[in-house]
């Protein structure tokens, strides 16, 4: 009896997460690939309405990011901006999880820059 309750509890836990992932991923992102690669400042202009300090944070990211020869300064700064402890990350994730697919459109230029940079990074082996 105890084992059965534990299994049911585990299944419920797993099912909740599977359902959540299914709901989040029901409409994968598409269309950002067609956005032009642009400077970080331009890429975040359209999302300033969702996060007021984004322009200042983008400037700070450009100053502090690693200047890597494999990435452009803008690509490196986009990755840095995404990982900064600011509301930017939360605002982007809210748009990604939104049930309204148009909520992500203003983020396309930034996503293009971010994903272009991430794709240039080498894989790590463990």
Residue 65, in any domain of the structure: yes
Q: Which residue has the higher pLDDT, 17 or 64?
A: 64
Residue 102: name the closest of 50, 53, 34, 29 by CA. 29
Residue 49, in any domain of the structure: yes
> What mean pLDDT comes out for the span 29-47?
90
Residue 125, in any domain of the structure: no
Q: What is the pTM of this model?
A: 0.74
Note down the domain range covering 83.
Answer: 2-120
User: Within 13 Å, how many C-alpha atoms sit on residue 4's CB side?
Assistant: 1
72-91 tens-digit pLDDT = 999 999 999 999 988 898 99
What total of structural domains would you count in the chain?
Answer: 1
Question: What's the pLDDT score for residue 125?
Answer: 72
Residue 126, in any domain of the structure: no
Residue 96: name the closest of 68, 88, 72, 48 by CA. 88
Residue 12, in any domain of the structure: yes
Residue 89, in any domain of the structure: yes
User: Which H or E run contains 88?
Assistant: helix 87-97
40-67 tens-digit pLDDT = 999 999 999 888 899 999 999 999 988 8
């Amino acid at each position: 009896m105890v084992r059965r309750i534990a299994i049911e509890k585990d299944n419920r836990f797993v099912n909740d997460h599977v359902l959540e992932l299914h709901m989040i991923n029901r409409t994968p992102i598409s269309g950002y690939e067609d956005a032009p690669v642009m400077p970080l400042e331009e890429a975040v202009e359209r999302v300033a309405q969702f996060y007021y300090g984004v322009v200042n944070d983008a400037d700070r990211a450009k100053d502090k990011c690693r200047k890597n020869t494999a990435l452009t300064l803008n690509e490196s700064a986009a990755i840095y901006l995404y990982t900064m402890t600011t509301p930017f990350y939360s605002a982007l994730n809210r748009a990604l999880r939104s049930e309204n697919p148009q909520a992500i459109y203003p983020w396309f230029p930034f996503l293009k820059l971010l994903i272009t940079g991430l794709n240039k990074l080498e894989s790590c082996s463990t």
